[in-house]
Structure 1
Amino acid sequence: MLDAKLIADQFPSLKQAVNGRRLVYLDNAATTQKPQCVIDTITRYYTSQNANVHRGSHSLTASATQAFESARETVRDYIGADSTKTIIWTRGATEAINLVAQTYARSALKQGDEILVGEMEHHANIVPWQIVAQQTGAKVIKIPMQTDCSLDMAAYQKLLNPKTKIVALAHITNVTGTRQPIEQAIGLAHLVGAKVLIDGAQGIVHERIDVSILNADFYVFSGHKIFAPAGIGVLYGKQTLLEAMPPYHGGGKMVDKVSFDGTTFDKLPGKFEAGTPNVAGALALATAIKWYESLSIELISTHLHDLVTQTCRGLTQIEGVRIIGIQESASLLSFVVDGIHHQDIATLLDQQGIAVRAGNHCAHPLMEALGVKGTIRVSFAAYNTKEDVDQFLEAVSKAIDLL
């Protein structure tokens, strides 16, 4: 059995009070809090390792470079990639998607080509494809969802055709927690020659994935969703694709030789990592992954499922509450309250020490399909407890009574 209270003790931010109440942090789908070991890694880098990487000849830069590349190896091992050459550091999942859109897609697409994007996607997995479609003459086509907020696989199969060049889907959606059938979607896309990008921003913390088995052409995620700091993320891509793609940014480090007659670029992964990287972020991400691996992902999954089940049961007993697309396999859920604005509920929860997310969650197309202006989203992490859920449910009831 997972000891969530023992885990919570490792997070300094969770020991504070908000509005005079014990903080119950239930906005983990937006960003997770950071354990002390991750904070210590950042502090250690800036106090004793601070130097640029792959440059210079002094001891600090040698130490920083070794740690930086060791962090890349940690990520490679965690997601089952064949080579560190396929692990590209980015600022997060959003930049990683934009990198693929503006390098692979912009080079490969032509007039009339089609990009299939799920209706439940985060804006970060919609807008970059719309931009590249405008640049190339391609079309972005929606893969609809079903009434239970699952991907309409029958519609998806009908949409796939020789013009389909790219499919973009979330591993787990950020509003309803739907775990999409990405394995099947990838296999079907490959039958028509399309490449597939999976947005793993929510999925990376729920499952231990193996990209060599998954067979996605690209898989992206953000460090801050898995207990690392903001500003660091990962693009995994199949090596043959990455090697054929042009650079995304130009500058130092990503070049082999520069002259006014022309420039030759560095090999992978350096080709896509122009300028001074987020060294502290990379080191902290590696620490976060190792810390997370030290826990049992199976026990965490069971614990999160129990919390979501407890929350669903409690919310269904509160008059006026409607849960959107119940998906107990993930660690988040969204709900609305009849006749009450979602932001009003969130504000009253905050006054009681409960941190949740309210709004459209960067998912306008999904909100439109659901016929709502926004929802209240509650999302859990390994440090949340059954007592947190009890406090949350009590606070929801009080908020509704007040409104």
Structure 2
Amino acid sequence: MSKSFLDKLKDIVTDEQVLTAHSELIPYESDGLTAFKALPRAVVLPNKQSEVISIVRLCHEHSVPFVARGSGTSLSGGSLPNERGIVIGLNRLNSILDLNIEERYAVVECGVINNDVSEASKHYGLHYAPDPSSQLVCTIGGNVAFNSGGAHCLKHGMTSNHVLGIKAVLPDGTVVQIGGHSLDSVGPDLVGLFVGSEGLFGIALEIILRLVPMPEGFRTLLAAYPSMEQAGDAVSSIIDAGLLPTAMEIMDNLTIKAVEATVHAGYPTDAGAVLIVELEGEIVEIEEEFKCLRKIIYESGAYNVTSANNQNERALIWKGRKGAFGALGKISPAYIVQDGVVPRSQLGSALAEIDSLSEKYGIRVANVFHAGDGNLHPNVLF
């Protein structure tokens, strides 16, 4: 990378916003997938949208590859640098530009933290539904790039179901506005094309997010099972009974022990697996559903069932699940996250097969995943 290119970068931002020292670049060599690393030539930290646009245009003019980065929580190498290029860090673009309560939308910059949107809107009885495990630190821009979901995507859907419009800078520096402030925008669904494109089409600078009302009530349950297969079969039984929980999550024994060593959520460490199920909606409705749910849980072989009686107990149950991926670092220096989907009816047998292969080849595999839609995350530890 030429000195003239770096000088031009520093003309766009200050010298302090361009990192080139080896010690400064190390934190950017990987994201949450630490098995793969690459050192960029430089990292630039813009403070505003106009700087991002100018940086992208400069990269295009000089044929310098760039990778956008938010909080670096991706577990699939999403912000892995190009060794010939630069990283554009976007955390400083962190303003909530508009909060329209009447029309139920928020306009945010790409560096806004996911959970901050819900915190800003909760006083008005609204929230932003997608809740990735890293929602306390991950950015909306990263969520858009990966079409992030979360534990509650079973009922609420993915990021793509909650993005109304995007202002983006394309790889050549062109700025475009796609979508709008409602789901009724005319023309082709370019927003749907952009969300989940993993940076291929450019950088989202501003995002218009759909906000949804907070539910009247929750019922959250933690069930312990002797085996992963039984927990998986319980998921099918719940759906077959006509229930549609907001979330259903499963963790295996290896993950449970890691979580308890770090988060202390009160999970039974003797369990082969735990299943978290959450219902939400009108209180009268969910109380009836909860009675049916408990009956199914016990009939499916659960030997220990805990129900959250207040918001603090609910938060503790979810604290364990949200902290699961980070907790795995307590028991292994590195792991590779797998991501696959199987029919719910085959969930139990798929989990049994994973256990069998793990034992056969002596490979530790920690399972923690969205059980409601059969989205498996076997984490291979090494």
Q: What TM-score, normalized to structure 1?
A: 0.25
Question: Per residue, is there more helix in 1 or in 2?
Answer: 1
Higher relative contact order (CA 8 A, sep 6+): 1
Q: What TM-score, normalized to structure 2?
A: 0.26
